[in-house]
A and B are shown apart, each in its own frame.
Chain A
Amino acid sequence: MIITLGHYLALSSVLFTIGAAGFLYRRNALVALMSIELMLNAVNLTLVAANRWLPAVQGDAGTVAPPAPAGHVFAFFVIAVAAAEAAVGLAIVLSFYRLRKTVRTDAADMLRG
């Protein structure tokens, strides 16, 4: 048996689907934010897995350099964005809870005319 790129991509698509389903299904704003984190993590897994399957760079005189870690760096930026998003999202949830005494996403209807 061989662990291929396909295994990682299939796992990551399953995780992304679970996150998307949680985001669509759950009415709890906290769980919706956690589902977003699940989806971002699933995307990170594809980036890191794809980077592992990049071929090494053959230099002159038989030297072998590792491939560019572009996937790792991209995943790093996704993690940075996810951290900022979680901080702002949770602040919004807190301030929303002060207004309505609930974290149900249905209750966020103050803009309705």
Chain B
Amino acid sequence: MNPSSTQEIIAFSLFAALAVASALATVTLRNPIRNAVGLFVHVLSLAGLYITLAAHFLVAVQLIVYVGAVVVLFVFVIMLLGPGSETAPDTTGRVPRVIGAAGIASVGIVLASTVRTLAPPRPDRVPEFGTLRHVGEYLFGPAMVPFEVASVLLTAGIVGAFAVAKAHHHKVKMNTETNLAPLKSDAVDESQGDHG
């Protein structure tokens, strides 16, 4: 087994550190637009990790679908909601939060240290591995049926998203506004105007 080249080690460490840091930023920061930027950096660093794994086709897909569509969709929704996309801090006590964080962290550490020991020899890369042609031949060969099902799923997703977002919510509102007043804790932003 050949030792990895210095470039490989640097690339992996850089993208791995970036991925962990941006994932933490995505889940911990309070401002949703900062969470979205964290997600943006996260999917970019994962694309970098896919390069180190010779998955060229997936790098392109990751950049187009995640950076080009999903993150932009999140940013659009955050812009549409404005200050309403931010929620008041959690009021749970400190002790349950610390216990929960310790539990989740210990699960993560046990999981990571268990799989960390796996070290099968890495086969040499065949030149066409992971290229558009290689993946495309598999996609339109053995994976043909799931590929077509995925297009049905995406169509259903578009129709569903449109139906949900364009629902007759004025009717719902008329029926429910008597017993479903906005929560007081988050409704303060509207009276204060610009929230930054």
**Interface 1/0s, chain B 185-196, versus A by CB < 8 A?**
111001000000
Is B99's beta carbon under 8 Å from chain A?
no
Nearest CB in chain B: distance from A89 CB, A: 9
A55, A64, A101: most-surrounded residue (chain B CB, <10 A)? A101
Summarize A's interface: helix, strand, loop or mixed.
helix
From B138, B164, B183, B186, give the contact of A91 (CB < 8 A): B164
Set of chain B residues within 8 Å of A84, measured between Cβ atoms: 153-154, 156-157
**Interface 1/0s, chain B 95-124, versus A by CB < 8 A?**
001001100110110011101111110111
Given contacts A35-B27, A83-B69, contact A5 B120 (CB under 8 A): yes
Task: With CB as the reference atom, state the residue of chain A lying closest to B190.
Answer: A101
The answer to whether B61 and A51 have CB atoms under 8 Å apart is: no
Given contacts A72-B135, A83-B70, contact A97 B119 (CB under 8 A): no
Set of chain B residues within 8 Å of A10, measured between Cβ atoms: 112-113, 115-116
Cβ < 8 Å to B, chain A residues 1-15? 1-11, 13-15
From B108, B157, B187, give the contact of A101 (CB < 8 A): B187
Given contacts A77-B150, A79-B66, contact A45 B46 (CB under 8 A): yes
Nearest CB in chain A: distance from B67 CB, A: 12
Alpha-carbon distance A14/B114, docked complex (angstroms): 12
The answer to whether A18 and B20 have CB atoms under 8 Å apart is: yes
The answer to whether A110 and B180 have CB atoms under 8 Å apart is: yes
The answer to whether A15 and B20 have CB atoms under 8 Å apart is: yes
Given contacts A72-B130, A79-B66, contact A17 B183 (CB under 8 A): no
Given contacts A1-B9, A75-B58, A80-B150, contact A9 B23 (CB under 8 A): no
The answer to whether A22 and B55 have CB atoms under 8 Å apart is: no
Set of chain B residues within 8 Å of A13, measured between Cβ atoms: 108, 111-112, 115
Cβ < 8 Å to B, chain A residues 65-90? 65-70, 72-73, 75-77, 79-88, 90
Further contacts, 13 of them, CB under 8 A, given A76-B58, A80-B154, A103-B87 = A3-B4, A3-B9, A16-B108, A18-B26, A19-B23, A37-B66, A38-B23, A72-B58, A76-B135, A77-B146, A81-B150, A91-B161, A97-B81
